[in-house]
Structure 1
Amino acid sequence: MIAHGPALDYPDRRLPDLVAAHAHRDPAAVAIRQWDHVVTYGELHESVTRLAAALRERGVGPEVLVGVRADREPAMIVGLLGVLAAGGGYVPLDPSLPPDRLRAIAFEASLGTIVGADLPIAGWPPAPEQECPAARDNVAYVMFTSGSTGRPKGVVIEHDALTEFVTSLAAMAGLDSDTRCLALASIGFDASVIDILAPLAAGAAVMLAGSADRADPIRLQRFCREHEITAAFLPPALLPVLDPAQLPTLRVVMTGSEAPGPEQVARWATPQRRFLNLFGPTEATVLVTWFEASGQWDRPLPIGAPAANHRAYVVDEDNRLVDTGQPGELLAGGPGLARGYLDDPALTASRFIEDPFQPGARVYRTGDLVAWQPDGTLAFLGRADRQVKVRGQRVELGEVEAVLRGHSGVQHAAVAFHAGQLIAFVTATAEPQEIRDHCGRLLPSAMVPARVHVVPELPLLSTGKVDLDQLLTALPPRPGPRGEAAAALSGQAGAEGRGGAVGAELGRAEAAAALGGQAVVPRGGGPVGAEERAVAQVWGELLGEGDFGRDDDFFDCGGHSITAMRLVAELRPRLGRDVAIEDVLLGRTVRGIAERVARAEAIGPDTVAGYRPPALSPAQQRLWFLDRYSPDAATAYNVAIAERLTGPLDLLALEAAFTAVTERQEVLRWRITDSSGRPEAVQDPVTPIILPVIETDRDRATVMLAQWARESFDLTRDRLWRARLIRLGPQEHILSLTLHHAVFDGWSQSLLYNDLAAAYAAAAQGRPAQLPALGASYADYAHYRVQRQRGRLEADVDRWLSHLDGAPAVIDLPTDRPRPRELTFAAAQAAVVLDEQTTAGVHRLARAQGATAPAVLLAAFGAVLGGITGQDEVVIGTPMVDRRLAEFQEMVGFFIEIAPLRLRVGAQTGFAEQVRAARDELLAALAHPEAPLERLVAQLGLSGQVQRTPLVQVLFNMFNFEAPELRLAGLRSEPVQVPAPGSPFELTLYGIERNGRLRLEVVYNSDLFGPARMTGLLDSIVQVLATGQPPQPAAVAAAPVPRARRKQVVPSAFVPPATPTEQAVAGIWCDVLGRAEVGVTDSFFDVGGGSLAMAVVQRRLRELAGRELRLVDLFGHPTVRALARHLDGDDRDGVDELLQRAARRGAARRDRGLSRNSSGTERH
């Protein structure tokens, strides 16, 4: 991506001539004020003219450098302008610098003349006015910066660059004759050009803060108020210590040098006050990019887009443009570029290079690592020379620091790479673990600091940089050769164990005290034995390598259900044992998990064989049945996503990429057919994907996306996903994807995007769009599930039946509209974003209760539902991700099971207790995954409902994985919101955590509820989360709710079928269920029937009766007698004969001697 700032004309004049023009226009206007000392433009011009004449007499002119050494008084500004007016270039010499530093600068610049503040300019004779004799390419000033060699390096800025900058800044910040600008920066830093020269070039008044004013924030605030400052450049470190309310006249705040914390935007940016983040190196005359922020902000500010007349590229090591979102070095070009480094042609040639994309022009290699964001702004990641490797991954310390500063409770942050770990030092009000949690939500595990130390302040070097050495020396010393305490500090065990762990812990505590703050300290010493070391190693890789002790809790350290699954997937191949998710959930600590792993069986050689014939998983079978049961539900299981693509799109490459993805992810070529009433997977061959392209406008595109999302799939005939491309313009498209849940879940979106990006990058470069084959197929997952269920199904079913016995079968929510006679799935949605304080409170409460954020949100949801309904218990479903093996981590598909969670939400239960209960329910659901929901429904006696989904009407779903990003080469992508296609449940609450903020989104059945009720529901949940208090329940439940009761196997009096229709129905039941006989009062679900078996019965009855029968009718008439009467009520010619034939066949089957079995099971 190549970005250009807007074109802006600027005069071919030197800066002192611009200031002189203002003096001629209004000589009485205030140019400089410092408390009672006021200098008008006329007086300033006269002094500058006299000094310039004197300097010219001393031989100062173009390309002659002159030092300016003066205290912070108006004479300092006269000195700067006098040198410029003489045609020379000034070299600032800040008196506050050490004498050796000043001598080094004077030596490097070969200064022959130095202007001081004590010159008797007022006594000199008037001098004739003369335009600045410098040409546009003559030096204007030389600013010395720190050099990596320890010797200061001078950056040569020319007059043309200076004029362009002051003109651009005036336009950007609105500087004019009514502006009163704070001058705060040292003249030795290029921010002084913002403070002093730019305002004077615009005719504004410079309010010059003295040394005492700069040193005291309270005095500085008074200075700003007394001088009625309207514009100021405030370094980020000053923003937290000044009170915006005390500066009522301030209209423009500029900041820079490092990203301010997001909380500062909310403090400083108002409708009456602009907040500008400026970015640029000294080598580009202060400014390359800028960004104007407003409102709430949840991450460090971007550095924005190129300023006027400038251009910016982000490139890799070979100067090739990188994709949006990818880190690279910033190359800056434009009229603001410096000439180079003073008397250092080699360094100049290495940093100022030929523009790779604009022949004849130059760019500056900034050494700054940045990345384009989807909105066209640049995110600053850090310096290239602060790049380290952690576990083989490249890590930019600046990026970690930026994320740390993005936490609302962190003021300043510095990160050191020490002994193979990232160590963070912060000044903060937040707890260290809370800060680590924040990093863990935004950064890959390798970039999360192993330790966070809260310190009173960050010590600074004379250069203004943080003195990391001083901070590190306060850490515990590295121990001797046995490495025991070293292992305790690094989080890795040595071969000889951890005998020195206690001493190491004391050392850490003492180090925290020496630093005046706190540190994260491991518990129980270091890991012992092979299993513990393996657990700790993988644990560190997933959660951020740190000081994890044997008794540290996985969930306290930031783990959750997704990372637990990844932990299992990594441990299985490393240890060769059948590690299960419950080993993590019940073991919890390094020690506990290792003990369970040691008892696990060795993995058999054929756990996942690889590429079996297509076979449906239980979850896919359930979706097939729901599609058959209620055709209206078809679109409720659609997944609709869309991405806006900006840039030159290669259509052929995109089509080739989709083709490659379908070859790698074979489930995307599946259909589900009906084989004798049972579902069967069919895999189609790979065929080229052709994308339909529709050209339209934005308004029509929005309508199309909503329509496409609601288009149903014929599971038998259709490919179970669709892709379309909307063309809004030559450089703007929308990619629309609609996928059936049978082949796609939330986790799959990132996998699909990653595969698509890799294949597109290859195709766009003319290479084959090929992707590496997966190590297994979705059919292998289906086989694995069957194998896993054989050993655990009955135990898990028994556990759930006992747990749910007596639970409420419905959540009796008040509706805004009459409940339809049959299930409907119309959808609408509402959302709310929690503020940072409430989000942080959620995580604090989770840690305090040994839980995770999902448990807190689930508890709040349950509490509100209980308050609305008056029920003391509710059952809420939650999806459980079933990607337990490493082979399934990169596989697109449907890996979801629904678990019914029983929550006690009575008024006598405190919210903290409810959080712990929600935690335990979630853990138990992960530990007992093999019970299909439909079987639980049948054995709890809840089948046959037609107005509600049985047992689970309300769902909670937490998205705690990273937001999917589509990164197609050369294109900028941003997600487009698509309305929910349907609502499979009465309402579903989604918890989504992105960039440190929690978002709650509810998708609800709009045939039942109105938007006001759902907005109130969200508000109530937020209130519970903010206060930690459950709502007051309704005085009495609207009506007693039915309860789920575990079916008891009790023989019933057998009543044989009598009528031909009863005999036909009973015969079909016996055939399908493998029974010898059924009575007319037997319920299909009590004698072993289930949803899939009912689908077979439907097909058999439809064939015999010669007419369509709906599954919903069969569920509504679950006994032989009820179904027979329903069929007889719709009698047609010939039906009796057909049904009698079926009855005779059933009788023949019974004659073969099959015994009656009232506890038979469903066959699949």
Structure 2
Amino acid sequence: MKGEPMPEAVPSAWMVADRPGVPVTTVADLIARNAAEHPDVVAVRQWDTTLTYRELLGRAARLALTLREQGIEPEDRVGVCVGRHPGLLVALLGTLLSGAAYVPLDPDLPEQRLIDTAADAGVKCVVGNAVFADGIPVPDEVAEVRPCPALPGNAAYVIYTSGSTGRPKGVVVSHANVAAFMTSIHERGRIERGDNALAITSIAFDVSVLELLVGLMVGASIQLAAESDRADPERLRRFMVEHEVTWAEVPPALLPLLSPDDLPLVRKIVTGAEAPGPEQVGRWTADGRRLMNGYGPTETTVAVTGFPATGQWSTPIPIGQPMLNHRVYVVDENFALVPRGVPGELLIGGPGVTRGYLGAPGLTAGVFVPDPFGDEPGARLYRSGDLVSWGEDGQLRFHGRVDRQVKVRGQRVELGEIESVLRGHPGVTHAVVAAVPVRDEVSLAAFVTPATAPDDLRDYLGERLPAVMVPSRIERLDALPLNSSDKVDVAALVAGLAQDDGVVDLEGVPGDLAALWSEVLGVPARSAEDDFFVHGGHSLAAMRLVAAVRFRLRRDIAVEDVFAARTLGAFAERVAMADEVTGADIETGHPPALSAAQRRLWFLDQLAPDAAAYNIALAQRLRGPLDVGALSRALTQVVARHDVLRWRVPHDGGRPYAVVDPPADLPLPVEDIEPGALADRLHTEAIGRFDLATGNLLRARLLRLAEDDHVLALTAHHAVFDGWSERILYQDLAAAYAGDTLGPLPAAFADYVAWRDERESRRGKDDLSWWTTHLDGAPTVLDLPRDHPRPAEQSYAGAFAGTELSAATDAGIRSLAAELGATPSTVVLAAFGDLLRRVAGRDEVVIGAPVADRRHAAFADLIGFFVDIVPLRLVSADPRTFAEQVAACRDELFDALAHPDAPLERVVDALSLPRDPSRGALVQVLFNVFNFAQSTVELPGIEAEMVPAGLPGSPFDLTTYLVERDGRMRFELVYNPDLYTASRVEALLEALVHLLDEAVARPGAALGTFTPPNLDLLRDGLVEAQPVPLSELPVHVVPPATDTERTVAAAWAGVLGKPSVGVTQNFFDMGGTSMDLVSVAEQLPGKPRVVDLFRFPTVRALAEFLDGRDGTSSALTKAAQRGAARRERAQRRTARQPRRQEGRS
């Protein structure tokens, strides 16, 4: 009996005493009983989609009614081919309620495999149209629930396993089998009502019965992971956290890829199919969680033995003892019981033993045999073919297979089936498949003759077998070696693989990846052109590779990157530029909401309402017979498709929000002009400002130079448009002009905002902490020597200069970048940063860099503003070589990209930087890269070319564009002419090009040895005096004395949440932000300009300004001095502290 020593008379048998309580009913009736008792409990959830038990049962009843109307009755078989969404549960339960047995047809399996399975099972119909065009759709309607007409002994489902004859075998499992399994697993695995049960397994695998059916039978809430949720360990972790999973069946290969610390709510874990690593037991049970290692063939329903593992293990984990009401025996080839410690074949008896194989009575009789050890009439045992032994502790140990069946990634694979399929290829004469150990797992290798066998064998197998059955390696030989018994010498073939240890000679990221690749696949990488999937890669292997890259290389790569960049070299390129954020799955249908970047642009618009620096101007010259009407209609279609172009941004009390207007015609006025007036007209169009509150943030104008010569001028506000959007706009415009229907987009810009906000809610706090630490002590102002005094308010004026790099310099940059494992833009950034620190006379500078946030595929074809600005802290030191400086810039860029969930405005606020209306906060110089192809609108019969569209202005003091087009690089500088003359900017360009020439020629030379021209000229100019350290003046809270002071103080106190405000206290020192200033402006009489609130940041100064005085009283001066003194001392303290970042190179 359980808990007692094994009977000596039967030393290798172990029987758990029969217990009453196994329900004699159907799966459907048990689930219906839960629905009646708890109708409003969530039965299944997938992110925001849920079905209660009432809803699930009602929809399933509707499907059952449809099936019955088609003549479906007990013992009929119905295919279920539905993707991983809540409708899958409706399909399964509806089929069971109809009385039929379901046949799982996973849409992710090869189509031919599904067709063959459906034919072999003799399905009467198929639910779901994922593959089968005539499939019955999953209903949204509900119907009255009728009792299931099936009996407990009727079939509940038919599931297919690998077959040694070359054909999969359909195992017929009854309702009674499943009910008995539910009772036993409830005792051992503890899935019960109130659990949030994870479901990640394909319906083609028997564990799905535990996750889905048993979960519903006990009243749990099923947390159904979508295909994308289970394809990546990080996404799966997030799914489990967000869905508050408490119970999970986790395959052994996934256990080391998940962290128990990240999943505190998961208290019960079932694993199985293959043994988990011993170290995983202590890892997962240290805090009292339950971990059960289960075992069971499909022919015995799901699991028949289990071992509750705890503590520290260094030996393989047992498979335990039989579950409730089951019997197991260990026998030799003569069916005699063997003693403890002696391996033998495992025989299994009990209520989980299924009917047998569909339509294969002979095969069934061979492995479902009469029970010679019991006294129950008609009882049968299943011959598992597994070698096990009893341990002295009364636990079963697993030793492998008696036959040639192996477990690959937790799934049972018959090697003979793969060989049979291979031999069916006309180019193959003989084939042998072997299981090859790879670390703690099994990989498959195929050996075929002749040596000239075709190269398409992998594709051939992939079309006929699941991915798990496609061998990692296929070796083509002239002949297969034979042993002394004239049988194929499989051991010699496998030994030959071990001797073939080809290596790959790669450095840097590709070299690191080659090592990880070999570890994961057990196959050495031979070159950068090796294909991950050709060499045996699969989804689980890709997950392991991704986990290894994240952990060892500190790069956040998603599984889709492995699929998209299949070769070692291509994948290495992705890894080199990866950040630490996982692209999440996209939920659609969100209402309009502003991103942090859009809110920043709105605030800047409030600060300078007459400026147009954030306009994006485009112009295309169109020569040929243009259909103006068709062009107008096409523009309207584009605006209808991309709803962000119909957004407007009003505000309520200083808080902006987004509103989307319904689709409407986009005006396209046509204007006749002379060619000589084109440039001026385009400039006028470019600088026309937008009113964000009223919308129309894209405008169009057609300038007619001649009958067949037009210029299309388009101007958009940056809040709804970025550089990448240009290509999308022209692409959609061309399609609509040609008469094509613009189909629906996978997501809208509002969905991006929600996706971004969700990431920030998870990672924003940590990222903000990183940024504040990283920038602590950094210079927050980069004031390059100027030709003109800095205006009191930022003017946003713009001018342009540019130059093209020589072919030699261009080639040198690219060559050095490849050598250092960097991008060409990183090489240029290193030179640019070093030049600016020389000109500014500093050891370090902060330069902003725009970063596109289109990392999810759903955003690739959206128009919108997907840009963040990251402040790069570039530290230079003369002893450092240029190559080291490039490496430092590369690391700085990677670190910055790894922390994208703290927008620039939040970083500025967290650093408590002083607001200065004369310059941007923290970032005054920008480095931007344009490396996408120049876009033109391809209209039929029209010759199109880009023409300069005018320069709306400069949002920064200086912006350097590295433009990579047509295989060449050039510099384009946009600068503020109110600060710099054209001659100074031309001198800066000349110095930068010269510095790059020297640096790429001598990358190993110290930075100080380079002598760019014009340094004296560039250093000579107007600069602001550095803050003079002042002693801390005592701060006295002086109450407001005038009516205006009281009005201002009340507004401040309300916005800042302070009980009182003194007239000399600084708004920003009290914790005020830029957005708070807008709210203050809304509450003050006359609604002063936001920029004036920047200029007068104390109550008294602002009150004096509002009263018509200049606001420059001595109290204001002293308050400003105190703030400057505090900030100066803080910067000096942090500058004296050693910084880890300075040591990177």
Give the TM-score category using the shorter length: 0.3 to 0.5
TM-score, scaled relative to structure 2? 0.47
